[in-house]
Structure 1
Amino acid sequence: MSYVTPKDFAVRMIDAGQSKVSLSTRDTLIRAYMAGAILALAAAFAVTVSVQTGSPLIGALLFPVGFVMLYLLGFDLLTGVFTLVPLAWIDKRPGVTLGSVLRNWGLVFLGNFAGALTVALLMAIVFTYGFSSEVSQVGQAIGHIGEGRTVGYAEHGFAGMLTLFVRGVLCNWMVSTGVVGAMMSTSLPGKVIAMWMPIMLFFYMGFEHSVVNMFLFPIGLMLGGDFTLGDYLVWNELPTVLGNLVGGLTFVGFVIYATHAKTAPARALRSKARA
């Protein structure tokens, strides 16, 4: 059978976290850079499909292709290491310290951001013919996404910030489920299906993914979106990162670790003597 039981893929999750901590700085940055770039291309693809077909559902159905590609290639997203790497520390794996966990998170953040920013610049060139003509229809749509999901939250004050944070939590609940999905099967089709479903859900529901936003908002600024760099950082990226951390670690990493890797003692079943 290609299906891997929860008890077994829980161990794979911890092993993966330990492996990522032990990576060199060079390898961590390269893998994070490529992950950010591929996910950014997938986001550009999904928005293009949504605009040209008029159906956001079709865009959501196709967006997971980027996520599947980058994980099959062994690249790393910040949302994934938020969930996997701390498990190796909690499990007291050799060489895994809190400092090494934070180092991994920092390097993956930098790599993801650099990759997404590279694609943002390249796609801005595509959408404007090298900044020599009017922004295309797809480019305009991306600019409006940046406005609605920064100043749109700010207009609601604390309620907007809370909504942003909760969308970040829900996002990485689903995205980290997709990360674990790659470990649920030993077959390529099984991995793809298990990853595809939760990623499609998060994208269509409009949840906030910190790495996708590393592409959408910088390119929105390049294309003349009506928001600022400060709006992006304060009213999207930073709260989204925090929400992604809480969502992935709490609802996926901790839960699977607690009930599959470190199960509670089984109850003793007592049969009552019948009179």
Structure 2
Amino acid sequence: MAYLTPNEFAKKMVDTGESKIKMAPRDVLIRAYMAGAILTLAVAFAVTAAVQTGLPIVGALVFPVGFVLLNLLGFDLLTGVFALVPLTLFDKRQGCTLKGMLKNWGLVLVGNLFGALTTVLLMSIFWTFGFSQEPGAAGQAIARAAEARTLGFAVHGGAGWLTVFVAGILCNWMVSVGVVGAMISSTVGGKVIAMWLPIALFFGLVFEHCVVNMFLFPMGMLMGADITIGDWLFWNEIPVVLGNLVGGLLLTGTALYVTHYKTAPPTAAMSEQN
């Protein structure tokens, strides 16, 4: 597997964050667009697998294929930049500013959204023969999920909103561990294994991922879900984005940075810089 030590991949985390914050806006948008499209195509794949087998856990086991592909291709999700880009500010990297970080986050969000909506359009056409017939079992399952993950939380009021927020924290704790997983091995096989495990965990426990939901709810509405855009944004997307930020930044990015990068022994730190 060619495993890298925590001190080694902690430095890679900061270096990667620096490369993302300094990336040209065009490249940020293209990479985010492709990431949103690929990840959400994997959602359709996972839902189809779960419906066909009658076993939701099967969907969780196959969903990571999208995350693995987009990371191997060097594309970016909002959940990943939430964890990595702030580390450049912590480390006071030259040219890395709060304004630059927020700009990166905004561009990645826009790119992910349009990528997800592209997949929504294409899969909607595919599942309905160009909107000429009712959706099949997979489309109906997405419609039910969209209602359950908005109206199902809304009936609990503030407690429901808090629950979605916490589900967002738990999600990006694992998803950002998957992002780091791509850095802890120098072989493709090692990277795939290290990414697959935490992503399967988050999907299997039905935590809330902001980019996944950029597909789930628009697709759900097209498939017949009785919800509005306002329901989606207030009872899911907004608390999920905030929860994903907290989970990725605090439980993965900051935790690994503080304990492995900032406390690296001098000899290790010197060898990493050479």
Shorter-chain TM-score category?
Answer: over 0.9
Aligned-partner Cα distance in 1 for 2:182–2:94: 25
Tell me if 1:259 matches 2:259: yes
Structure 1 residue runs of 4 or more that deviate by more than 4 Å after TM superposition: none
Tell me if 1:129 matches 2:129: yes
AA in 2 matched with 1:258: V
Please list every run of 5 or more consecutive structure 2 residues that lacks an aligned counterpart in the other structure: 267-274
* Residue-by-residue CA offset, 1:1-24 (whole Å, 9 max, x unaligned): 711000010000000000001111
Aligned-partner Cα distance in 2 for 1:265–1:93: 20
Contact 2:42 2:63 in 1 (8 A): yes
* Residue-by-residue CA offset, 1:37-74 (whole Å, 9 max, x unaligned): 00010000000000011011111101000000000000
Task: Tell me which residue corresponds to 1:160.
Answer: 160
Aligned-partner Cα distance in 2 for 1:188–1:15: 20
AA in 1 matched with 2:16: A
1:263 is displaced (CA, Å) by: 1.3
Please list every run of 5 or more consecutive structure 1 residues that lacks an aligned counterpart in the other structure: 267-275
Tell me if 1:46 matches 2:46: yes
Task: Tell me which residue corresponds to 1:201.
Answer: 201
Aligned-partner Cα distance in 2 for 1:144–1:40: 17
Q: How many residues align?
A: 266
Aligned-partner Cα distance in 2 for 1:94–1:60: 40
Task: Tell me which residue corresponds to 2:270.
Answer: none
* Residue-by-residue CA offset, 1:78-137 (whole Å, 9 max, x unaligned): 000000000011100010000000000000000000000000011111111111111111
Aligned-partner Cα distance in 2 for 1:154–1:145: 14
Aligned-partner Cα distance in 1 for 2:246–2:254: 10
Task: Tell me which residue corresponds to 1:176.
Answer: 176
Task: Tell me which residue corresponds to 1:55.
Answer: 55
Task: Tell me which residue corresponds to 1:273.
Answer: none
Q: Which has the larger radius of gyration?
A: 1
Contact 2:7 2:264 in 1 (8 A): no
AA in 2 matched with 1:182: A
AA in 2 matched with 1:139: G
Any residues of structure 2 matched to 1:79-228 within 5 Å, and which? Answer: 79-228=79-228
Aligned-partner Cα distance in 1 for 2:152–2:79: 24
Aligned-partner Cα distance in 2 for 1:47–1:25: 33
Aligned-partner Cα distance in 2 for 1:10–1:173: 16
Contact 2:60 2:204 in 1 (8 A): yes
1:30 is displaced (CA, Å) by: 0.1
* Residue-by-residue CA offset, 1:179-222 (whole Å, 9 max, x unaligned): 00000000111000000000000001000000000001011111
Percent pairwise identity: 64
* Residue-by-residue CA offset, 1:244-269 (whole Å, 9 max, x unaligned): 00001010000001001111889xxx
Aligned-partner Cα distance in 1 for 2:212–2:59: 14
Task: Tell me which residue corresponds to 1:272.
Answer: none
1:223 is displaced (CA, Å) by: 1.4
Contact 2:20 2:85 in 1 (8 A): yes
The TM-score, its normalising length taken from structure 1, stands at 0.95
- Counterpart of 1:185 in 2: which secondary structure? coil
- Counterpart of 2:85 in 1: which secondary structure? helix
Aligned-partner Cα distance in 1 for 2:154–2:247: 22
